[in-house]
Amino acid sequence: MSDTNAQGIAVITGASTGLGAVYADRLARRGHDLLLVARNKSRLDTVAAKIAENTGRTVEVLAADLADPTQLATVETRLRTDESISLLVNNAGGTVFGPLSQADPSQMEDLITLNVTSLTRLTTAVLAGFTRRGSGTIINLSSALALNVLPVSAVYSGTKSYVVAFTQALQQELAESEIRVQAVFPGAVRTEFWDGSGIEVSAFPEEWVMSADDAVDAALAGLDAGEPMTLLSLPDITDWDTFDAARQAMIPNLSRSVPADRYQS
């Protein structure tokens, strides 16, 4: 699945800072031209100018709020129609941590719109061209909190679990094609993600928190190795295989004409 000396445009959402800005740098160094998406145009311009100067690649920016249907549609149209696009990183995402009983429903809805709806619509849009051209790569940012579900992460963990199921289904749908889909599970990474989230990343022990540089380099190493699921700090990836094998082992018994014995009197 390596895309070293890559061709084509890589589209990275949430590229104005954090993991997205590092993905942009690394993918440009691998030979991609870039289309960078986020809300803050001046920050995007700064990231783009630096990468263009360092790598000589063409770097375009598209300022868009992916939680806004009209602005999202503009990005979708570009993904659906630009035949040069070869890679999409669905990285833009946010969080709010706290008990759901005290949550603002509108804020939760906005989180779902960004983390789930925009990722789904952008993937659908880019797949149209990937399917026509018979190749392409999609990288979906999930989270360790898809697996480490906490009392304060009902909506965030829910959105990131969606990313896992969505990615697994797509991997099956596209298994016979040259289109690759990877889910990435970062643990805590030192970025602006934590600002205003309800949790101070500075309160975590140093050994829990990865740098954005290390996180993206590890994620791309997982991509190069052909991993469908990349759990950045998990020492043994076969732990994931064991976990997923247990899920699959249940499948033959998940739909039967009669309830399980324990539900019958």
Ligand X SMILES: NC(=O)C1=CN([C@@H]2O[C@H](COP(=O)(O)OP(=O)(O)OC[C@H]3O[C@@H](n4cnc5c(N)ncnc54)[C@H](OP(=O)(O)O)[C@@H]3O)[C@@H](O)[C@H]2O)C=CC1
Find the binder of ligand X among 31, 45, 94, 233 (CB under 6 A): 94
Site for ligand X in 221-260 (CB under 6 A): none
Sign of torsion, CA 221 225 231 234?
negative
Rounded Cα gap, residues 215 and 226, in angstroms: 17
The CA dihedral of 253, 258, 260, 262, to the nearest 10 degrees, is 180
- Which residues, numbered 49-68, are part of the site for ligand X (CB under 6 A)? 65-67
The verdict on 143 binding ligand LPIYNW4C (CB under 6 A) reads: yes
Cβ neighbours of residue 12 under 8 Å, at least 6 residues apart? 20, 23, 24, 27, 34, 35, 36, 37, 89, 91
Residue 45 sits in the site that holds ligand X (CB under 6 A): no
Question: Measured from the CB atom, is 27 or 145 closer to ligand LPIYNW4C?
Answer: 145
Residue 263 known to be catalytic: no
Question: Closest distance between ligand X and the C-beta of residue 67, in Å?
Answer: 4
Does 167 engage in binding with ligand X (CB under 6 A)?
no
Q: Identity (one letter) of the amino acid at 66?
A: L
Under rule CB under 6 A, how many of the chain's residues touch ligand X? 27
Among 52, 63, 103, 144, binds ligand LPIYNW4C (CB under 6 A): 144
186 touches ligand LPIYNW4C (CB under 6 A): yes
Give CB contacts under 8 A, 24+ apart, made by 70-77.
72/117, 72/118, 72/121, 72/122, 75/13, 75/37, 75/122, 75/125, 76/121, 76/122, 76/124, 76/125, 77/125
Q: How many helices (H) and strands (E) does the chain have?
A: 8, 7
Q: Which stretch binds ligand X (CB under 6 A): 92-100, 131-139, 164-172, 218-226?
A: 92-100
Whether residue 189 contacts residue 211, with contact meaning beta carbons closer than 8 Å, is answered with: yes
Using CB under 6 A, which residues numbered 101 to 140 contact ligand X?
A: 114
Nearest distance, CB of residue 156 and ligand LPIYNW4C, angstroms = 7
Give the residue numbers annotated as catalytic, written as ranges. Answer: 156
Binding site for ligand X (CB under 6 A): 14-20, 38-40, 43, 65-67, 91-94, 114, 141, 143, 186, 188-189, 191-193
